Chain A
Amino acid sequence: MGMKFTFVIEGGNFSKAGTASSEVKKILKQLNVDPKIIKRTVVSLYEAEVNVVAHAFEGNMNVEIFPDKIVVRIEDKGPGIPDIDMAMQIGFSTATPEVREMGFGAGMGLPNIKKNSDRMNISSTINVGTQLEIVNYLK
């Protein structure tokens, strides 16, 4: 048994980046999840959300909450990631100057997600999109 929630992420709209992760945060607080786990989860979701906004066209955040874990799938339609190992490296970024102008594009997002999640799976198809799965255990 688990609870499911879905949030839509708009590509290119930086003013709304963070709304989906904030919604998830609200839910986790209501479920009395340990604040430290909430923090880790929300930080990684925020990074993932911003990646969709910054690098893809549109996406979804699917959240499933089980008694023992939180599973989040972020799927987008977009250019995809040609070399995932490279993208995972600290400091690697293909962000445009405009994106950097907004304070993003340090190449820290994916490494930060890895740091703040218990499990992370990423798969991508060029010119189709990217799927990212983040799992955090509650105990």
Chain B
Amino acid sequence: MEKAHFYHALKVVKEVCIGCTHCMNVCPTSAIRVKNGLAVINKNACVDCGECLNACPVNAIIVEQDDFSQIFSFKQRVALLPTVLLGQFPNDISEKQIYSVIQELGFTHVYEVDETVDILTEATNTYMNKHHQERPFISSFCPAIVRLIQVKFPALVEHIIHLKPVIDISALFYRKKLKDEGFTDDEIGIFYVTPCAAKIAAVKSPVGEDKSFIDGVINMDFIYNKVLLSIKQNKTSGSKYELNKHMSRRSIGWTLTNGEASQYAGRCLAIDEIHNVIEVLEKLENEEITDVDFLELRACDHSCAGGVLTTENRFLAIERLRKRADWYHRNKPIILEEKEVEKYRTYLLGNISIKNIEPRSILSLDTDMMEAMKKMEKINRILKVLPGIDCGACGAPRCQALAEDVVQGKAKMTQCVFLQKMLTKEGLITPQESFDISENTWGVKRFEKKSLNDH
């Protein structure tokens, strides 16, 4: 078992949450319940995919972020930008402007994360040759997918490529580079601008690493607003693309769908959106899909262009990024950064492995199989009594989930509104008791007297 504590950046804001069940019903790992009129997220089951945030009608689910001023506790302050950030801005804003505004916020260096992609593709090729018996290989790119496999597909954990994702390779690279320039470890702060909650979880509770290589995370929408605000206030314009740097097509396309799968030989599949991924993982587990070499799996629709902290329409962002890639490809400006990475290739390749990724199934009813069997029998008995309409009025997403919660001691059968009615009719509970139970699930506020004539 890994650390018992899992960090999640997604938070339910109590004052805003109306306990409406939208989030509960969309969560792919059934991590959410409604209690006392509020959505509650089970930390062991949550994989940070952000589906709940997208479903919330009142924006009660937010992505918590580190205090920005923390960057100033470091002498050297590196901002690592995800390439999708550059796709968020209107066409008339130049890359130079974006970079300089971010620098003005207080960073001493601004880099794009995906500049070290070539190191990873090389390491991945070597890895796949060496561990060919672990085929099909699953990319470690999306932290939400790594977590999804840990909790729901424990048998597939060993298929995950045990190599650092690009974000960590870049962090390692820039840290080493600054150290070689004479700065000490604690003078260097590396900050990642994140398009999603999953990357934050990966930084705060890393899987397969003892500690993260990133010192802090900044939400992408925060940076987006800062840049737009600053540009709107003093509009200067220049050429759209940077002339003294080069981003390869491969780097720019990396976080978009097919960014990885297009880079390897053999049969490679690119699958985005978490439900699509779950469907494929089910098939993979049954060996209904065989003969696949590499799987690129991403939680968001259209991959990181659909991350929960993106602001631009994903299709427009992708179009811009493709244009950008084409421009660099056509104009091949001076290849500066790439050469810089070359000097560190051996160092980075030597530090690219990660340790074991532990399975931590949330599905098993009990670690002891006999106990699990007893619990399953109880669940099946309870299910015969429940109405089977999955209304959610008990605060659990499905009747099956309520039955499981009951057996695990996390809920009471009487939370079922149908059972309440029957028990009341038969005089087994009083109307007051039935009312109290509903108040416990939905909160006192929900039952405040409303008159039909009030508007």
Which residues of A are at the interface with B, using a C-beta cutoff of 8 A? Answer: 3, 18, 21-22, 25-27, 29-33, 35-36, 38-39, 42-43, 46, 65, 67, 138
For B364, the chain A residues whose CB sits under 8 A away are 29-32
The complex places the Cα of A62 from the Cα of B300 at a distance, in Å, of 38
State how many angstroms separate the Cβ of B277 from the closest Cβ of chain A: 16
- When chains A and B are docked, how far (Å) is the Cα of A74 from the Cα of B370? 25
| Residues of chain B with a CB closer than 8 A to A46's CB | 286-288
**Contact between A32 and B155 (Cβ–Cβ < 8 Å)?**
no
What are 27 of the A-B contact pairs (CB < 8 Å)? A3-B376, A18-B283, A22-B282, A22-B286, A25-B286, A26-B363, A27-B376, A29-B361, A30-B363, A30-B365, A30-B372, A31-B364, A31-B365, A31-B369, A31-B373, A31-B376, A32-B361, A32-B368, A32-B369, A33-B369, A35-B154, A35-B155, A38-B155, A39-B285, A46-B287, A65-B373, A138-B369
CA–CA, A33 and B363, complex, Å: 11
List 10 additional contacts besides A26-B363, A31-B365; criterion CB under 8 Å: A18-B286, A22-B282, A27-B376, A31-B364, A32-B364, A32-B368, A35-B154, A35-B361, A46-B288, A67-B369
Question: Counting chain B CB atoms within 10 Å of each CB, which of A29, A33, A42 scores highest?
Answer: A29
Number of B residues near A (Cβ < 8 Å) is 22
What are the residues of chain B within 8 A of A32 when measuring CB–CB? 361, 364-369, 372
Bound-state CA distance A24–B140 (Å) is 28
Question: Which residues of chain B have C-beta atoms less than 8 A from A26's C-beta?
Answer: 363
Give the docked Cα–Cα distance between A107 and B365 (Å): 38
B359 at the interface (CB under 8 A from A): yes
Question: Cβ of B288: which chain A residues have Cβ within 8 Å of it?
Answer: 18, 46
Q: Are B282 and A29 in contact (CB under 8 A)?
A: no
Q: Give the docked Cα–Cα distance between A35 and B372 (Å).
A: 15
Contacts of B359 in A (CB 8 A): 35
Task: Kindly list chain B residues whose C-beta atoms are within 8 Å of the C-beta of A39.
Answer: 155, 285, 287
Cross-chain contact A21 with B286 (CB below 8 angstroms): yes
Cβ of A29: which chain B residues have Cβ within 8 Å of it?
Answer: 154, 361, 363-364
A residues near B286, Cβ cutoff 8 Å: 18, 21-22, 25, 42-43, 46
B66 on the A face (CB < 8 A): no
Residue on A nearest B359 in the bound complex, by CB: A35
Q: Within 8 Å of chain A (Cβ to Cβ): is B340? A: no
B2 adjacent to chain A (CB < 8 Å): no
> What's the least CB distance linking A6 to chain B, in Å?
13
Kindly state the separation between the CA atoms of A35 and B367 in the bound complex, as whole angstroms: 13
B377 within 8 A of A: yes
Q: Mark B394-414, 1 if CB is under 8 A from A, else 0.
A: 000000000000000000000
CA distance A32 to B368 in the complex (A): 7
